C-alpha cells in the first residue's frame, strides 16, 4: 500500500467516526427540537384559537343579554296583533337588529322565534335563503325549547346555508304590562336567536398549516366534529378511546400518541369550554420527515466533511510527506546513477528533514570517497602529481583554450638520465624517494614562473604530471613566446642539478628535456606529444642534461640566447661594460644639471651591443643584479674621479632594476660605495620604474626610505605609462618625476598628450617635486615644456648619451649646449 493510502486509511476512520458522532448527536438534537417546536407551535395555536372561540361564546352571551333588554323588543313582543306588529312595528325591530349586525358582522342572522317556532323576524346580512319559517320541529328549536337555561348555545349546521354556526338564543319571558307588574307571571313571548358565523375557525385551522401537515379538529365531547382541516377525513368519527384521551388531556396540554389504520399522530387537545374541544394531529411521518430531512442534511454535511477532509489529507499528505519522500527517493535514484550534485531541501523540521539531513551526509561521504577515487584515478600514487589520464585531459583542454584565445603554450617532456641505474643500485625505495623529490623541485620551478606566465589570473594554470617511471611532463599553458619555455627548462635543469639527499646518500642527477610549442610545432595534441618525446630523445642524444626544442630554429634561437647569456657572464668578469651618460639640461639656463648613467656592452668580437639586446637576457638570467651593481659602482667612481680631476660634477642618476630592488643588497652596495669613495650623496640619484613600485613589498619600500635617508634622491622613471597611481607619490619618498618619452614625443601634435604633460608638471609643482622630461628631440617640444614650467630636459635636442670623456669636456667647458647638430654621434 502506498504511503498516501496508508495515511488516509489510518486517519480517515478516526475522523469519520468523530464526524458521524457529531452528526448523530446533532440529528437527535434536531429531531427533539423539531418535535418540541411543532408541539410548541401547535399548543400555542390551540391556546389562541380556543381562547378566541371562548371569547366568541362569552361575547355572544353578553350581547344577546344586551339585545334582549331592549324596550323596543319587549314592546314588540308584547304586541299580539300580527297586523300591527308586521306593518307598523317590525321595520323598527329590523332596523334595530340591522344596527346590531353592523356592529357585529359575524352575527349574520338575528331572529325572533315565537314560542311555537314561527320565525317572526329574521334579519340576515345578505340575501340568504330561508328553508322554513316554521322552525317548530327543527332540531335546534327543539333543543332551544327544552334547554334548561334561558340562555342557550349550540354549534350545529345551519340548514339555511349549510354552514356550521353557533346558535345563541335567549328565552324572552315577559310580563303583560296590562297585568299586575309584580305578581303576574312572566310568560314566554318568544326567543331572541343569534346565529354566529364560525368561518373564522375553519379559516384559522386551515390556514394554520405548518410544515408538518398538522391538522386540527373542533369537536364536542360527544365526538361530533364541527371543523377540521384534514384533506380527507381521518379518525372521523373519533374512536371513543381517543376521544376520552383528548378530553383527559384537554386541560393539561400534554401531547399523546394516536393512530388510525395507516398513520400515527402526535396529538394535542385543548378544552375550549364545557362542550367543545380542539384537537391537533401532527402526523408523525411528516414530523419526522422534516427531521429526516435534517438528518439527510447532516449526513450530506458529514459525507462532504469526510470528502473534504480526505481531499485535504490527500493534499497535505502529498505536500508534506509523500512529496518530500519522493524527492528523497528521486535523489537516491540520482545518487545511484552517480549524480552527486543533487540538492535536497533539508528545511523540514521533522523526521523527513532528519532523513534528508542524513541523506546529505551520506552524499557528502560518497562525494569524498568519489573524490579520493578520482584523485587516485587521476593522480600519481607516488608523487601525488596528476597522472597520464589527467594530464591528457588537461592538455587537450589547454590546447583547445590556446587555440581559442590565440595563445602560445608549451609541452615539455622530462626524463631522468640514467634513472634505471640509480634504481638498480640504490633500490626502489630510494628511487621512489628520489622521484618524489624531483617532483617537488619541478613544482617549485613552476611556481616561480610568475614572471613567465602572462597573467597570474590565468584560467589555465601550468601543470606538472608524471606519466610513469621517471618520465614527467610540464605544460606551460600560456607563455609569451617559445623562449619562455627555455627559461623554465633552464631553471629546471638548474634546480635538479643540486644534489639530492637520499638517506645518507647524496646523489647528483640530470634530466633531458624535450620541448614542443603550440601552435608553431603542431596544433594537434597527439603530434605535440610525439614532438615533445622526439625532442626529449634529441636531448638525450645531445649528451643529456640539456633541453631541446622540437623545431631546430627554436633550438638555434635558444642556443643564441644561451650563448649570449654565457657571454654576458663572461662580460662581467672581463669588464666589457662601459657607461655612457646623457646630460639633463636646466630648462631656463640650459646648463647641464644632471646625468643619467646608461650601460653599454662592448663585445670583443661583436662590438657594441645595445641594451635592448642583452638587458632582457640579463634580467631573465639574473645577471642584471651584478650588472646593476657594477653600474652603480662605476657611476659613483666616475664622480669620484671627476671630483679628483677637478671637473665640476653634477648628480648622476642610476637605474635600479626589479631584481635589484627586490634584493636588499642594493642598499648595502650604495652605502658601501658612497662611503668607500667619499662621494657626497647628493651626486647620486636612483631611478625606479612604476612597474617596479607596483610589485614592491613593504621591505623594499622601507629600504627605499633608508636610501632616501642617506640623502640619495629618488627619481620615478616613465611616469604616466603604468598605473600612475597618485598613491605612489604618497607611499614612496620620491623627489623627481620623469615624464615618459612617449608623452613628450607627441606633445605638439596630440593635445591630449600635451594636457597630460601639463597636468604632470602641475601636479609635481603642487607636490614640490622637480620634473624631468625625457625624449625631447625638437625645439617646439622644449619650448612647450619650458613654458609649462618643466625643470629640466633630457633628450637629443640637447645631448645624446656620451662617453665619460666627452661629458668631462662639457662639464669642464660649462658650455651651454647649442643644438642637436653640435652633438657627437655615439651610437
Shortest CB 59 distance to other proteins, Å: 17
d(CA 273, CA 275): 5
87 binds other proteins (CB under 8 A): yes
d(CA 260, CA 712): 138
Closer of 122 and 685 to other proteins (Cβ): 122
Residue choice 44, 47, 99, 254 for contact with other proteins (CB under 8 A):
99
127 binds other proteins (CB under 8 A): yes
- Of 87-95, 205-213, 381-389, 721-729, the segment contacting other proteins by CB under 8 A is 87-95
Q: Could you tell me whether strands 592-603 and 607-609 are parallel, antiparallel, or unpaired per DSSP bridges?
A: antiparallel
643 binds other proteins (CB under 8 A): no
179 binds other proteins (CB under 8 A): no
Other Cβ atoms less than 10 A from the Cβ of 418: the count is 12
List binders of other proteins among 728-787 (CB under 8 A). none
Q: Could you tell me whether strands 225-228 and 256-259 are parallel, antiparallel, or unpaired per DSSP bridges?
A: unpaired
Residue choice 68, 123, 635, 679 for contact with other proteins (CB under 8 A):
123
723 by DSSP, 3-state: which? coil
Residue choice 70, 510, 724, 758 for contact with other proteins (CB under 8 A):
70
Residue choice 6, 95, 186, 695 for contact with other proteins (CB under 8 A):
95
Q: Are the C-beta atoms of 203 and 214 separated by less than 8 Å?
A: no
d(CA 248, CA 49): 19
83 binds other proteins (CB under 8 A): yes
Q: How far lies 758's CA from each of 719, 727, 751, 784, 789, in Å?
A: 13, 19, 10, 9, 9
Q: Could you tell me whether strands 471-479 and 792-794 are parallel, antiparallel, or unpaired per DSSP bridges?
A: unpaired
Please count the residues of the chain.
Answer: 827
- Of 96-104, 160-168, 312-320, 672-680, the segment contacting other proteins by CB under 8 A is 96-104
106 binds other proteins (CB under 8 A): no
Closer of 57 and 141 to other proteins (Cβ): 141
Closer of 99 and 553 to other proteins (Cβ): 99
* Positive/negative CA dihedral, 91, 93, 95, 98: negative
Shortest CB 177 distance to other proteins, Å: 10
- Of 13-21, 66-74, 211-219, 321-329, the segment contacting other proteins by CB under 8 A is 66-74
Shortest CB 180 distance to other proteins, Å: 20
71 binds other proteins (CB under 8 A): yes
**Grid cell in block for residue 621:** 638570467
Shortest CB 161 distance to other proteins, Å: 15
* Positive/negative CA dihedral, 655, 657, 661, 666: negative
- Of 81-89, 340-348, 406-414, 524-532, the segment contacting other proteins by CB under 8 A is 81-89
Residue choice 36, 65, 82, 780 for contact with other proteins (CB under 8 A):
82
CA atoms within 13 A on the CB side of 567: 20
> Count residues contacting other proteins (CB under 8 A)?
32
Q: Could you tell me whether strands 276-283 and 215-220 are parallel, antiparallel, or unpaired per DSSP bridges?
A: antiparallel
- Of 88-96, 155-163, 320-328, 728-736, the segment contacting other proteins by CB under 8 A is 88-96
Residue choice 85, 228, 600, 685 for contact with other proteins (CB under 8 A):
85
Closer of 72 and 316 to other proteins (Cβ): 72
131 binds other proteins (CB under 8 A): no
- Of 97-105, 150-158, 602-610, 746-754, the segment contacting other proteins by CB under 8 A is 97-105
Shortest CB 124 distance to other proteins, Å: 8
Find, among 533, 507, 538, 537, the residue nearest to 522 by Cα. 533
Residue choice 25, 55, 84, 308 for contact with other proteins (CB under 8 A):
84
Residue choice 44, 92, 575, 710 for contact with other proteins (CB under 8 A):
92
Closer of 93 and 266 to other proteins (Cβ): 93
Q: Are the C-beta atoms of 651 and 594 separated by less than 8 Å?
A: yes
Among the residues of 767-826, which ranges form H helices?
779-788, 804-813
Q: Are the C-beta atoms of 408 and 479 separated by less than 8 Å?
A: yes
Cα of first residue to Cα of last residue in the chain, in angstroms, is: 99
Residue choice 59, 79, 104, 510 for contact with other proteins (CB under 8 A):
79
90 binds other proteins (CB under 8 A): yes
What is the phi/psi pair of residue 78, to 5°? -80, -10
Q: For residue 460, what are the contacts with CB-CB under 8 A and spacing of at least 6?
A: 397, 398, 401, 402, 409, 477, 478
98 binds other proteins (CB under 8 A): yes
Shortest CB 110 distance to other proteins, Å: 11
d(CA 366, CA 364): 5
Shortest CB 101 distance to other proteins, Å: 8
d(CA 571, CA 567): 6
Closer of 159 and 626 to other proteins (Cβ): 159
Q: Are the C-beta atoms of 198 and 109 separated by less than 8 Å?
A: no
- Of 122-130, 608-616, 692-700, 718-726, the segment contacting other proteins by CB under 8 A is 122-130
Q: For residue 399, what are the contacts with CB-CB under 8 A and spacing of at least 6?
A: 409, 518, 523, 525, 528
81 binds other proteins (CB under 8 A): yes
124 binds other proteins (CB under 8 A): yes
Residue choice 55, 88, 507, 608 for contact with other proteins (CB under 8 A):
88
Find, among 162, 164, 266, 158, the residue nearest to 225 by Cα. 164
Shortest CB 105 distance to other proteins, Å: 12
Q: For 639-643, which contacts have Cβ atoms below 8 Å and span 24 or more sequence positions?
A: 639/677, 639/679, 639/683, 639/684, 640/677, 640/678, 640/679, 642/808, 642/811, 643/679
- In 606-668 the beta strands, taken as DSSP E runs, fall at 607-609, 652-655
- Of 92-100, 678-686, 712-720, 768-776, the segment contacting other proteins by CB under 8 A is 92-100
Among the residues of 117-196, which ranges form H helices?
139-146
Shortest CB 123 distance to other proteins, Å: 6
List binders of other proteins among 373-392 (CB under 8 A). none
- Of 28-36, 119-127, 184-192, 393-401, the segment contacting other proteins by CB under 8 A is 119-127
**Grid cell in block for residue 380:** 600519481
Closer of 109 and 620 to other proteins (Cβ): 109
d(CA 519, CA 523): 5
What is the phi/psi pair of residue 209, to 5°? -55, 120
Residue choice 15, 33, 61, 89 for contact with other proteins (CB under 8 A):
89
Question: How buried is 53 (Cβ within 10 angstroms: 0-12 exposed, 13-18 middle, 19+ buried)?
Answer: buried
Shortest CB 82 distance to other proteins, Å: 3
Shortest CB 81 distance to other proteins, Å: 5
Shortest CB 252 distance to other proteins, Å: 44
- Of 74-82, 503-511, 606-614, 685-693, the segment contacting other proteins by CB under 8 A is 74-82
d(CA 632, CA 480): 31
94 binds other proteins (CB under 8 A): yes
d(CA 222, CA 219): 8
Find, among 716, 728, 720, 731, the residue nearest to 760 by Cα. 720
**Grid cell in block for residue 449:** 614562473
Shortest CB 69 distance to other proteins, Å: 9
Shortest CB 87 distance to other proteins, Å: 5
Closer of 141 and 797 to other proteins (Cβ): 141
Closer of 95 and 397 to other proteins (Cβ): 95
> Footprint of other proteins on this chain (CB under 8 A)?
70-72, 75, 79, 81-92, 94-96, 98-99, 101, 120-127, 133
Amino acid at each position: 500500500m502506498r504511503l498516501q493510502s496508508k495515511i488516509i486509511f489510518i486517519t480517515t476512520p478516526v475522523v469519520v467516526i468523530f464526524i458521524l458522532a457529531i452528526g448523530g448527536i446533532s440529528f437527535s438534537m434536531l429531531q427533539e427540537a423539531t418535535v418540541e417546536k411543532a408541539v410548541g407551535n401547535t399548543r400555542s395555536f390551540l391556546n389562541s384559537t380556543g381562547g378566541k372561540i371562548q371569547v366568541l361564546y362569552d361575547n355572544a352571551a353578553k350581547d344577546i343579554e344586551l339585545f334582549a333588554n331592549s324596550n323596543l323588543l319587549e314592546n314588540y313582543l308584547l304586541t299580539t296583533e300580527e297586523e300591527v306588529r308586521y306593518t307598523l312595528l317590525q321595520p323598527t325591530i329590523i332596523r334595530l337588529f340591522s344596527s346590531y349586525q353592523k356592529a357585529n358582522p359575524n352575527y349574520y342572522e338575528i331572529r325572533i322565534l315565537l314560542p311555537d317556532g314561527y320565525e317572526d323576524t329574521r334579519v340576515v346580512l345578505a340575501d340568504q335563503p330561508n328553508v322554513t319559517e316554521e322552525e317548530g320541529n327543527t332540531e335546534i328549536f327543539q333543543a332551544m325549547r327544552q334547554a334548561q337555561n334561558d340562555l342557550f348555545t349550540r354549534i350545529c349546521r345551519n340548514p339555511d346555508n349549510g354552514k356550521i354556526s353557533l346558535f345563541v338564543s335567549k328565552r324572552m319571558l315577559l310580563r303583560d304590562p296590562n297585568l299586575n307588574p309584580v305578581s303576574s307571571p312572566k310568560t314566554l313571548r318568544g326567543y331572541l336567536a343569534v346565529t354566529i358565523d364560525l368561518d373564522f375557525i375553519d379559516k384559522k385551522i386551515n390556514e394554520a398549516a405548518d410544515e408538518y401537515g398538522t391538522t386540527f379538529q373542533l369537536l364536542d365531547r360527544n365526538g361530533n366534529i364541527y371543523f377540521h382541516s384534514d384533506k380527507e377525513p381521518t379518525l372521523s368519527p373519533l374512536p371513543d378511546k381517543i376521544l376520552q384521551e383528548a378530553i383527559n388531556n384537554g386541560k393539561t396540554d400534554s401531547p399523546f400518541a394516536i393512530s388510525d389504520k395507516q398513520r400515527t399522530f402526535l396529538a394535542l387537545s385543548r378544552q375550549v369550554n364545557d362542550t367543545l374541544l380542539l384537537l391537533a394531529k401532527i402526523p408523525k411521518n411528516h414530523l419526522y420527515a422534516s427531521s429526516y430531512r435534517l438528518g439527510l442534511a447532516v449526513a450530506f454535511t458529514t459525507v462532504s466533511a469526510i470528502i473534504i477532509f480526505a481531499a485535504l489529507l490527500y493534499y497535505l499528505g502529498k505536500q508534506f510527506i509523500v512529496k518530500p519522500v519522493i524527492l528523497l527517493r528521486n535523489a537516491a535514484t540520482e545518487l545511484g546513477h552517480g549524480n552527486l550534485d543533487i540538492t535536497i531541501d533539508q528545511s523540514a523540521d521533522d523526521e523527513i528533514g532528519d532523513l534528508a539531513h542524513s541523506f546529505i551526509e551520506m552524499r557528502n561521504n560518497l562525494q569524498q570517497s568519489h573524490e579520493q577515487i578520482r584523485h587516485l584515478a587521476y593522480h600519481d600514487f607516488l608523487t601525488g602529481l596528476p597522472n597520464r589520464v589527467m594530464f591528457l585531459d588537461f592538455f587537450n583542454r589547454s590546447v583547445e583554450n590556446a587555440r581559442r584565445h590565440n595563445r602560445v603554450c608549451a609541452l615539455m617532456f622530462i626524463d631522468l638520465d640514467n634513472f634505471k641505474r640509480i634504481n638498480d643500485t640504490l633500490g626502489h625505495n630510494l628511487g621512489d624517494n628520489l622521484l618524489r623529490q624531483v617532483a617537488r623541485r619541478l613544482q617549485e620551478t613552476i611556481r616561480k614562473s610568475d614572471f613567465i606566465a602572462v597573467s597570474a589570473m590565468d584560467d589555465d594554470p601550468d601543470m606538472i604530471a608524471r606519466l610513469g617511471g621517471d618520465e614527467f611532463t610540464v605544460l606551460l599553458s600560456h607563455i609569451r613566446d617559445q623562449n619562455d619555455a627555455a627559461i623554465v627548462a633552464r631553471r629546471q635543469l638548474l634546480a635538479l642539478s643540486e644534489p639530492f639527499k637520499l638517506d645518507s646518500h647524496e646523489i647528483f642527477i640530470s634530466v633531458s628535456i624535450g620541448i614542443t610549442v603550440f601552435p608553431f610545432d603542431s596544433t594537434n595534441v597527439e603530434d605535440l606529444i610525439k614532438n615533445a618525446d622526439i625532442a626529449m630523445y634529441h636531448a638525450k642524444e645531445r649528451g643529456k642534461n640539456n633541453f631541446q626544442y622540437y623545431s631546430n630554429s627554436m633550438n638555434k634561437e635558444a642556443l643564441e640566447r644561451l650563448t649570449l647569456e654565457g657571454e654576458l657572464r663572461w662580460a662581467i668578469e672581463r669588464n666589457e661594460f662601459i657607461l655612457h651618460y646623457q646630460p639633463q639640461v636646466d630648462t631656463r639656463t640650459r646648463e647641464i644639471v644632471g646625468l643619467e648613467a646608461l650601460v653599454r656592452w662592448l663585445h670583443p668580437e661583436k662590438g657594441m651591443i645595445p641594451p635592448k639586446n642583452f638587458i632582457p637576457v640579463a634580467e631573465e638570467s639574473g645577471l642584471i643584479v651584478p650588472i646593476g651593481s657594477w653600474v652603480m659602482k662605476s657611476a659613483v667612481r666616475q664622480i669620484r674621479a671627476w671630483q679628483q680631476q677637478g671637473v665640476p660634477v653634477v648628480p648622476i642618476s642610476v637605474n635600479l632594476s626589479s631584481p635589484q630592488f627586490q634584493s636588499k643588497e642594493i642598499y648595502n652596495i650604495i652605502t658601501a660605495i658612497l662611503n668607500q669613495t667619499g662621494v657626497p650623496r647628493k651626486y647620486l640619484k636612483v631611478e625606479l620604474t612604476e612597474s617596479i613600485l607596483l610589485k614592491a613589498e613593504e621591505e623594499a619600500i622601507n629600504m627605499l626610505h633608508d636610501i632616501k635617508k642617506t640623502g640619495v634622491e629618488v627619481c620615478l622613471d616613465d611616469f604616466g605609462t603604468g598605473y600612475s597611481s597618485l598613491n605612489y607619490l604618497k607611499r614612496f619618498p620620491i623627489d623627481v618625476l620623469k615624464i615618459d618619452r612617449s608623452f613628450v614625443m607627441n606633445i605638439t601634435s596630440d593635445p591630449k598628450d600635451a594636457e597630460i604633460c601639463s597636468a604632470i608638471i602641475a601636479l609635481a609643482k603642487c607636490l614640490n617635486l622637480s620634473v624631468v622630461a625625457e625624449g625631447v628631440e625638437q625645439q617646439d617640444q622644449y619650448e612647450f615644456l619650458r613654458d609649462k614650467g618643466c625643470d629640466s630636459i633630457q633628450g637629443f635636442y640637447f645631448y645624446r648619451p656620451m662617453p665619460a670623456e666627452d661629458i668631462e669636456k662639457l662639464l669642464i667647458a660649462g658650455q651651454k649646449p647649442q643644438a642637436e647638430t653640435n652633438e657627437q654621434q655615439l651610437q
